[in-house]
Amino acid sequence: MTTQTTTWFGSTTEHSGLRSPRQYALVTSETIDLEALNSELITGVVNALVDVIEPAAGQTTLSLYEHVNPDALEDIIKASTSKKSDIEVRFTVENYLVTVRSNNTILIYEPLGAHRGTGENPCPAS
């Protein structure tokens, strides 16, 4: 089984320096049909995160304001969609890399080596 991975800046960016960038493994991918659900993009992001992060002590909400400005995120995505241009916004929430694309796709990655449940790297080096 192949695990889809990325780095903070994507897989094609070259990096200089002593440390290589942290790599992330895809945990979930969701596409939100805003018209069919009569929903907001931010609500979809929060719901996807809550499903993945498993908040402590039965917490069922997550405040994005601690990690990103939700109004600005939604404005950027809506502006890009209306201009038919592709954009991708990335930010982290509790070590998870969240990618929101202008096609209303939400990708959530976890750091390699932090694989849920096993503590093992899902893509061991060969």
Expressed as residue numbers, the domain containing 72 is: 23-111
Distance of CA 99 to the CA centre of its chain: 4
Residue 14 domain flag: no
Global pTM reads 0.69
Residue 2 domain flag: no
Residue stretches of the chain with pLDDT short of 50: 12-15, 37-38, 118-126
**Beta-strand pair 5-7/96-101:** unpaired
Residue 42 domain flag: yes
Q: Are 102 and 81 in contact (CB under 8 A)?
A: yes
Q: Are 27 and 110 in contact (CB under 8 A)?
A: yes
Residue 44 domain flag: yes
**Which pLDDT score, from 0 to 100, does residue 90 have?**
92
Total structural domains in the chain?
A: 1
* Residue 100 exposure: Cα atoms within 13 Å on the Cβ side: 27
